Structure 1
Amino acid sequence: MSPLSPLSPVALVALVALVALVALVAPVVADRTRCDIGHRPELSLRLAWEREEPGALLVTNGGHWGHWGDAQFCPEESFVVGFQLKVQPYQGFFGDDTGLNGVRLLCDTGTHTVTSSVGPFGDWTPPELCPPGERVVSFRLRVEPSQGLWDDAAATDVAAMCTGGSRLEGGGLPRGEWGQWSERCAPACSVCGVRARVEPAKGGDNSGLNDLKMYCCT
């Protein structure tokens, strides 16, 4: 077929299907208009060494291994209504546990999801969703502190709060302690995006996802 020849019907159908699939599942990475947040005093030490990002919801107990991935956002005028976790099951006494490896936020379009960085271990849990008409406005992390010479898992679970006060828990590993809730998005704002800190696989004592930020948008 020459470069100017028309596509066959089969090829055309396949191309249309591919474009439609990309439009449905591809996350929107363009930035959004974010809301101002009044930070709690206990975050002042963290903000002294980490660049503050507009509209970012922060927690105080995140792990310190790995690198921050890119922030990803729902489409304009779309907000987060639930999430899924990528969790590695317990690997046994002599195994290398990584716990939480990724967080996938579910946008209210019904078709878009956003993730940021994701580790290679584990499987995705079923979706946790706010009640109809509600959105995610706050979150917290369950984190296992450094175990020294023993196996580290860092973050092991995530919980989120919806606008009406409902709380969603992701069903990760029962290791570590729950930290405090992040700030809450202002009344006119809701969570619209996420950024994750993940340690790449290194061949031993991997820790997966360590820390998380969510973003409030108008």
Structure 2
Amino acid sequence: MGQDTGAGLLVLLCATSFRHSVADGLRGQTSVIEVTNGGPWGDWAWPEMCPNGYFASGFSLKVEPVQGIPGDDTALNGIRLHCTRGDTEHVIESKSGRWGVWSEPMWCPDRGFLVAFALRVEPALTPGDNTAANNLRFRCSDGTELEGPGLSWGEFGNWSDSCSKGVCGLQTKIEEPRGFHDDTALNDLQLFCCRS
């Protein structure tokens, strides 16, 4: 293993360890679920958690519509979780891209919780207009699957692991605006699971 490869591996291990240790300290018994097909660009933003005793029952997406030629498409730019406890709602959001419009929330039926997710990602295009993450699916605690109103480029990857009770937080990986260069905005997502 070369020196550069070793340094890169060390940075990756430190970043993964940091994300997991942050999750452990955020809210009691917290674990992380993630997918393997996230986009390669950008940096992990801050984590956001539902208040204690709340779990995510719904979500909304910030999506930029198709820009056409010669526009620069970014597709999925942001994710909000709608956390509930009884009839009370609290909305959380990690960092989002600057483009697009927020959708109306989609909800799990019968006061269920979000427990797993899958991400639709367009592979890197060279040359081309890269968009990275395009859409999102969630699985609810009763098995219902909800697909967001994102765009259709790329493919959905495998489902994440499932939370034993429900999702209680999120963290996004966002590429900052690049001026006259190709923008992708949201690239990846990880979710936090809580037991109480």
Give TM-score, length-normalised by structure 1.
Answer: 0.75
Letter in 2 for 1:59: V
1:78 and 2:54 correspond: yes
User: How many residues align structurally?
Assistant: 170
Counterpart for residue 51 of structure 1: 16
Report the CA distance between 1:49 and its aligned residue.
7.4
Fraction of identical pairs, as percent: 43
1:207 and 2:172 correspond: no
Cα distance in 2 for partners of 1:120, 1:193 equals 21
Letter in 1 for 2:35: V
CA deviation vs aligned residue, 1:111-140 (integer Å, no higher than 9, x gap)? 311111110000001111000221000001
1:152-167 equivalences in 2 (<5 Å): 152-167=130-145
1:179 and 2:144 correspond: no
CA deviation vs aligned residue, 1:88-116 (integer Å, no higher than 9, x gap)? 00000221000100000000144311111
Greater fraction of residues in strand: 2
Cα distance in 1 for partners of 2:185, 2:142 equals 31
Letter in 1 for 2:127: L
Counterpart for residue 61 of structure 1: 37
Q: Which runs of 5+ in 1 are unaligned?
A: 1-46
Q: RMSD across aligned C-alpha pairs, in angstroms? A: 1.4
Match of 2:128 among 120, 126, 150: 150
Match of 2:94 among 116, 121, 125: 116
Counterpart for residue 77 of structure 2: 101
Q: Which runs of 5+ in 2 are unaligned?
A: 1-11, 25-30
Letter in 1 for 2:147: E
Larger Cα-atom Rg: 1
Cα distance in 2 for partners of 1:158, 1:49 equals 27
Give TM-score, length-normalised by structure 2.
Answer: 0.83
SS of the equivalent of 1:132 reads: helix
Counterpart for residue 129 of structure 1: 107
CA deviation vs aligned residue, 1:46-77 (integer Å, no higher than 9, x gap)? x8675141511110000111111100000001
Letter in 1 for 2:16: R
Counterpart for residue 26 of structure 1: none
SS of the equivalent of 2:16 reads: coil
